[in-house]
Amino acid sequence: MANFDDYFKTNHSRFESELCEWLRMASVSTDPQYKPQVEQAARWLATKFEGLSFKTELIETCGHPIVYAESPQVPGLPTVLVYGHYDVQPPDPLDEWITPPFEPTIREGKIFARGATDDKGQMITHLYGTEAWVKATGKLPINLKFLIEGEEECGRKGLGEFLAGKYDQPNRKALELIDADIVVISDSSQYAPGMPAVTYGLRGIAYFELRLSGPKQDLHSGAFGGAVSNPANALTQMLSALIDLHGKIQLDGFYDDIVELSETEREQFADLKFDDEAFMKGLGVTGLTGEEGYTTLERRWARPTFDINGLWGGYQGEGAKTVLPAKAGAKFSLRLVPNQDPKKVYESLQRKLNAICPPGITMDLIDLHGAPGSMVPIDSPYMTAAAKAIEKGFGKAPVFIRSGGSIPVVNSFAEKLGIGTLLLGWGQDDDNPHSPNEKFLLKDFHAGIRTSAQLWEEISKIELA
């Protein structure tokens, strides 16, 4: 097995100083005034890949360029696509930063700067893990492709168009270019300090707006109440019928397709010893609730949900107004678990709501967006490879976790390429990625570099099907 200890030792401070150099480029993607720095950051990264003799391209888009780089491709080797982003969040509020956001500063073993953890600092670990192979051994054990975008913090329109083939050229079609066996993303957090993690599952989402109309205008609730359907009443009746008091969603066949938690997963979650009391204290609540028969982590990570995200209707001002409103509406979403289909959810929801919509009420159900959940099986060889690499890089075996949210790009890779994603977060929960004083622990930075180099070796051992 390759040993890069000497290489990492020799280049230890260069890695840090180069990251600082990159962090000084204020690549705030959402604000046009930063456009030159965004391009500077993209070119800087491209130059690094060129230094490894990677075939490198700045792909121009409707927005900021995508940095694409690939190692010389060797047939028969596994191919890894590393996704990341070089753009950063705006730094406001500036006066809350202890040191300026674009003057990277090292204090107490942490590097403080906008982009330190999200995502320049995490992304670049894969550049240096790769560099170690190229510079120290002269070759890579796998094929590597890097897709590093510049609009992750501002709607990723350019990447969307790229994946849709809009910038395809006759000899360079996006989906062929980035085709791989697995995706690796380092843009998240460890489970807790000293507990590196592999995130192997994400929830999907199905997000809707329901608009109800009753009488053509607001009515006096005294003269008409009791005889005319009230859209606000109907809204509460219809939405509350979608979930029972045991937390079970009441749609036909809703649970039929879902991948249930295995006993192994439940044990692994239990081993994390999630502290409900501390969680409640942090949120300022005196109780928790959810689907019966599941723990808090299971409910957050691996069970579907129904949440009203917004609702409105009638009089919202001060005091009393005796109105029977003409309209009421709500936005709501269901988080889905792997193998649930947002389209099927929409169809059964439409059937259910139509069936229970009271006389005199017209409903309009708008499908705002949907994405399926995703999961890399924990017994997949890529998971095993990631676990071994982390154990070597961080000196500690990772825990296997899931996340309750959805990451659209992971869905894109699954849909477009049919491949899974390893979510390997090197950060900590308190790294302030979208807040003042963003930081990244240097020990996590270097452990990430070591892990990356090990990961390429572990993946090289996987027999391709």
Q: Residue 53: what are its φ and ψ, rounded to 5°?
A: 60, 30
87 noted as active-site residue? yes
**Judging by DSSP bridges, how do beta strands 182-185 and 79-85 pair with one another?**
parallel
Q: Write down the least CB distance from residue 215 to a second copy, Å.
A: 4
Question: How many Cα atoms sit within 13 Å of 55 on the Cβ side?
Answer: 10
Catalytic residue among 70, 152, 181, 444: 152
Locus of tokens 């929960």: 429
Alpha-carbon radius of gyration of the chain: 25
Q: Residue 138: what are its φ and ψ, rounded to 5°?
A: 80, 0
Contact 100, 110 (CB under 8 A): no
For residue 226, give the 3-state DSSP assignment.
coil
Contacts of residue 313, defined as CB under 8 A and 6 or more positions apart, other chains included, come to 212, 231, 232, 235, 325, 327, 328, 329
Contact 383, 377 (CB under 8 A): yes
Count Cβ atoms below 10 Å from residue 169 Cβ, excluding itself.
Answer: 9
Contacts of residue 154, defined as CB under 8 A and 6 or more positions apart, other chains included, come to 29, 30, 63, 87
Contact 239, 348 (CB under 8 A): no
Count Cβ atoms below 10 Å from residue 19 Cβ, excluding itself.
Answer: 24
Q: Looking at beta carbons only, is 26 or 197 nearer to a second copy?
A: 197
Class of residue 323 by CB neighbours under 10 A (exposed 0-12, middle 13-18, buried 19+)? middle
Q: How far is CA 437 from CA 90, 111, 147, 297, 320, in A?
A: 12, 10, 27, 29, 46
CB burial string 139-152: b at 16+ within 10 A, e below? ebbbbbbbbbbbbb
Catalytic residue among 87, 119, 151, 298: 87
Count Cβ atoms below 10 Å from residue 415 Cβ, excluding itself.
Answer: 12
Q: Looking at beta carbons only, is 167 or 279 nearer to a second copy?
A: 279
152 noted as active-site residue? yes
C-alpha to C-alpha distance for 121 and 21, rounded to whole angstroms: 11
For residue 183, give the 3-state DSSP assignment.
strand
Q: Residue 77: what are its φ and ψ, rounded to 5°?
A: -90, 150
Angle (CA) 29 32 34, round 5°: 65
Q: Write down the least CB distance from residue 421 to a second copy, Å.
A: 16
Q: Write down the least CB distance from residue 28 to a second copy, Å.
A: 22
Task: Write out the catalytic residue numbers.
Answer: 87, 152
